[in-house]
Amino acid sequence: MSNKNIGIKDVAVAAGVSVTTVSHVLNEVSYARISRETRDKVRTAAEALGYGPNRLAQALRTQRTGMLGLVSEEIATTPHAGRIILGADEAAKARGYNLMIINTPGSASLESRQADVQALLERRVDGILYATMYHRNVELPDNLGNVPSVLVDSVAIGGNITAVVPDEDGGARAAVGALLDAGHTRVGFINNTDDVPATRQRLQAFRAMLTEAGLDGEAAPVESEVSEVQGGYEAAKRILSRGDRAEIPTALFCYNDRMAMGAYRAAAELGLSIPADLSVVGFDDQELIAANLYPGLTTVALPHYEMGAWATEHLIDAIEGKEDLSLMALHPTILGCPLVRRDSVAAPR
Amino acid sequence: MSNKNIGIKDVAVAAGVSVTTVSHVLNEVSYARISRETRDKVRTAAEALGYGPNRLAQALRTQRTGMLGLVSEEIATTPHAGRIILGADEAAKARGYNLMIINTPGSASLESRQADVQALLERRVDGILYATMYHRNVELPDNLGNVPSVLVDSVAIGGNITAVVPDEDGGARAAVGALLDAGHTRVGFINNTDDVPATRQRLQAFRAMLTEAGLDGEAAPVESEVSEVQGGYEAAKRILSRGDRAEIPTALFCYNDRMAMGAYRAAAELGLSIPADLSVVGFDDQELIAANLYPGLTTVALPHYEMGAWATEHLIDAIEGKEDLSLMALHPTILGCPLVRRDSVAAPR
DNA sequence: GTGAAAGCGCTAACAT
DNA sequence: ATGTTAGCGCTTTCAC
């Protein structure tokens, strides 16, 4: 029975006051001078009638909807989307905003994505979050510029929009560091073949870490495959069977948890036990995989929740005039990728 | 530059006509009689100014927002949510609606969920989808009744609201049937310990199928554990090590894919090869697991996408007066759970 | 064939 | 300390 058709006017009548007064007390307008008793009368009447404000009317009048648009690429295919959405939803809710979500296939044309943004614009969202499901460079619909916006998990081709991305370099360093700290000196990298920032940055960090540890980073074995379980299996098989025994890596850094899952299988087939004979670290911290493999996979977590929340916080700050997004647009903000220790790393034999 | 501040009025001025006319042509109002040239003038002007309707104002006037609220339990923790959302989003988009999504922790109190619904109501959504992340009985906030609503993946305690749920019985039968068809006569069931409909219905279907096949359904081995990988491992270990060799099952039906994953490990430890020594079928079709295990897991797919889409379709039908939801409220609608064949089932040795 | 004007539910400037 | 009133941008009835 909460919001049938009762409006502010009905409350006014019931309380025997004007709509202004009702509006003032219900919105706790600071400069309003209203007696304690009137306030109570109004509140009681509103309560009794089950009054709830019509946010549409409010929005039309104030030019503020309190809605944030979230255009999300590939909501379904990756569990990452959920964490971004959750981070955004909780941050939004905490500040009195709600989320309008539009899914857009990763393959969607620029025009179709522009239409999605347009739909959000017509609903007068106060700002837009544009989230991609893996860290990459995107071409953005130009109507995104009509309203404060922030990019989540990508940077724009042509730059100039505030963005938040994971710290690929730091994450990769943490992963390789864990292996090095355990005493490994022969570590291999199973990389992705896609040309995305993560591929390049993780490789670079891998080599750099080894070199900084006094090892030959440039010579360290790297095998690339599609970033799926099967690819990880094949790459691991290759990397673990080459050259003579003394040169085979005792530790593997894998581009992601799925590839690590493939590496587990390769190890099993080769009679290598994890972590006794082979240490493995992944990337992504996909719960379903990392926590459920046996032994549990040590990996690096992608800050999806945090990126969603960060983006929302700053978007709202910008909307409320507390911050100037253009000041942050020069460089993407980088959020840490913490190491999640489980049981796949041990000292080499 | 799409929707700055240009309204219908600006278009009217630019085209040299009244706002009525603009509204008529832009909305293609059927009874409007407007000359071809006027129409063109209006369209050109609108285009030139980059006019986009203000949906808030439209909604205020027409009492229709074209927005659907989706309250989703546990958006992040399960990948299932994504598929429901996707199904809903695509169905909604196809009919010109958009989704407002609110996440609510599964543990949230009734009041807090009521507040979530309230937020949606204040924004005057035309209808509400209430989605839970696994099939169960929920206590619904009573303000849900203020607007057409449909329940996704649960049935309401106390009934009387249209709901759509998976066909647990049919899915379980398909799973067990696959095992039976392969020739197995000793099949075990690894069940969940939670008291949810799926637990009971799958068990019942399991026994029924065996009995109908002329086997002793009541005597078939069943082990229950928490429905995670570890639980599946333990239950499988027990079920595969009991009694004498000739009584050990040659096939396992697992409550879900995670438990099946545990069963894989148990089999490996016992030196049982899948599917040669042991056939396994799961439930859920969690891509990340089922498709990535080795060998690929034969399982039963939960129709999350379909439930999201079905619910949305019917919700919109109800909103548009094409259907009466109360007619469907008596019994939940049941959507099929198709068997997904991969490589974990073979004839017994 | 086209336009004037009322009103959706609310806020806020301006009375009083 | 409280009330009147003009819009926010649109649709729609009714008039011309």
Condensed to tens digits (0 to 9), the pLDDT of residues B144-175 reads 999 999 999 999 988 789 999 999 999 999 99
- Among B99, B103, B146, the residue with its CB nearest the CB of A89 is B103
User: Which residues, 6+ apart, have CB-to-CB distance to B237 below 8 Å?
Assistant: B266, B269, B270
Q: What is the mean pLDDT of chain B?
A: 94
Question: Within its chain, how far is the Cα of B19 from the centroid?
Answer: 44
Q: Decide: CB of B63 under 7 A of nucleic strand D.
A: no
**Chain B residues within 8 A of A1 when measuring between CB atoms:** 143, 146
**Cβ B98 vs Cβ A119: under 8 Å:** yes
Which long-range contacts (C-beta less than 8 Å, at least 24 apart) are formed by B266-273?
Answer: B266/B232, B266/B233, B266/B234, B266/B236, B266/B237, B266/B240, B267/B236, B267/B240, B268/A268, B269/B237, B270/B237, B270/B240, B270/B241, B272/B240
Exposure of A146 in the CB half-sphere (CA atoms within 13 A): 23
Q: Tell me which amino acid residue B258 is.
A: R
> Could you tell me which chain B residue has the CA closest to the CA of A231?
B292
Mark yes or no for CB contact A3/B121 under 8 Å: yes
| Burial call A254-279: b when 16+ CB within 10 Å, e when fewer | bbbbbbbbbbbbbbeeeebebbebbb
pLDDT of residue A131: 94
Residues of chain A with C-beta less than 8 angstroms from the C-beta of B228:
292
Q: Please check whether residue A343 touches B, CB under 8 A.
A: no
In sequence order, the 6+-apart residues with CB closer than 8 A to the CB of B61 are: none
Cβ–Cβ under 8 Å, residues A225 and A189: no
* CA pseudo-torsion sign B3, B9, B13, B16: positive
**Chain A touched by B167 (CB under 8 Å):** no
B72 CA – D12 C1', rounded, Å = 37
Are B284 and B268 a contacting pair, CB within 8 Å?
no
pLDDT at A4: 63
Side chain identity at residue A20, one-letter code? T
The alpha carbons of chain B give a radius of gyration, in whole angstroms, of: 26
Interhelix angle for A55-62 vs B55-62, to 10°? 140
Please tell me the pTM assigned to this model.
0.94
Which residues partner with A156 through β-bridges?
A138
Q: Is B77 on the interface with A (CB under 8 A)?
A: yes
Phi, psi of B199 (to 5 degrees): -60, -50
> Strand A299-300 relative to strand A339-340: parallel, antiparallel, unpaired?
antiparallel
pLDDT for position B76 = 67
What single string gives the DSSP state of each residue in A29-63? -TT----HHHHHHHHHHHHHHT----HHHHHHHHT
Residues B115-134: b if buried by 16+ CB within 10 A, e if exposed: bbbbbbbbbbbbbbbbbbbb
* CA separation for the pair A42, B246 (Å, rounded): 79
Beta-carbon neighbour count of residue B12 at 10 Å? 19
CB contact under 8 A, B103 and A124: no
Our CA-based measurement puts residue A335 at a distance from the nearest CA of chain B, in whole angstroms, of 19
State the smallest CA–CA distance between residue A184 and chain B in angstroms.
28
Return positions of chain C under 7 A from a protein CB: 1-5, 7-13
pLDDT at B2: 43
| % of chain B exceeding 70 in pLDDT | 99
* Partners of residue A286 in chain B, C-beta under 8 Å: 288
Rounded to whole angstroms, the Cα distance separating A22 from A33 reads 12
For the record, the structure tokens of A64 come out as 């503020």
Residue in chain A nearest B68 by alpha carbon: A100
Phi-psi region of B239 (alpha: psi -120 to 50; beta: other; left: phi over 0): alpha
- The band of B99, judged by pLDDT with boundaries at 50, 70 and 90, is very high
**Nearest nucleotide to B24 by CA–C1' distance?**
D11
**Which has the closest alpha carbon to A83: A341, A313, A306, A282?**
A306
Q: pLDDT tens for residues A202-257? A: 999 999 999 999 999 999 999 999 999 999 999 999 999 987 778 899 999 999 99
Please give the Cα distance from B303 to B135 (Å, whole number). 11
pLDDT at B100 over 80: yes
List, in sequence order, every residue forming a beta bridge with A173; answer none if it has no partner: none
HSE-CB for A222 with a 13 A CA cutoff: 19
Lowest mean pLDDT among A344-348, B204-208, B325-329: B325-329
The pair of three-digit structure tokens given for residue B61, joined into one six-digit string: 């006037």
User: Quick check: B79 pLDDT over 80?
Assistant: no
User: Residue A158 CA to chain centroid, in angstroms?
Assistant: 21
Phi, psi of A138 (to 5 degrees): -115, 150
Q: Supply the pLDDT for residue A2.
A: 43
Strand partners, A298: A281
Q: Residue B197: which H helix or E strand, with range?
A: helix B197-212
CA closest to C1' of C3 belongs to B18
Does an H or E element contain B150, and which? strand B149-156
Give residue-wise pLDDT tens across range B274-320: 999 999 999 999 989 999 999 999 999 999 999 999 999 999 999 99
Residue ranges in chain A modelled with pLDDT below 50: 1-3
CA–C1' nearest nucleotide, residue B11:
D9
Residue B252's pLDDT is 98
Nearest CB to B123 within list A4, A56, A103: A56
Q: Which two tokens stand for residue B14?
A: 């630019």
In this structure, what token pair is assigned to residue B228?
């995670």
Residue ranges near strand C (C-beta within 7 Å) = A 5, 7-9, 19-20, 23, 26-27, 29, 53-54, 57-58, 60-62; B 16-21, 24, 32-35, 38, 57, 60-61, 63
Interface A-B, measured as beta-carbon pairs within 8 A, has a size of: 147
Residues of B in contact with A101 (CB under 8 A): 85, 89, 99-101
Specify the amino acid at residue A79: P
Task: Supply the pLDDT for residue B4.
Answer: 64
The protein residue nearest C11 (Cα–C1') is A61
CB neighbour list of residue B73: distance below 8 Å, 6 or more residues apart: B81, B103, B104, B105, B106, B108, B131, B132, B133
| B82 and A CB contact within 8 Å | yes
Q: Measure Cα distances from B333 to A335, B149, B157 in Å.
A: 45, 14, 16
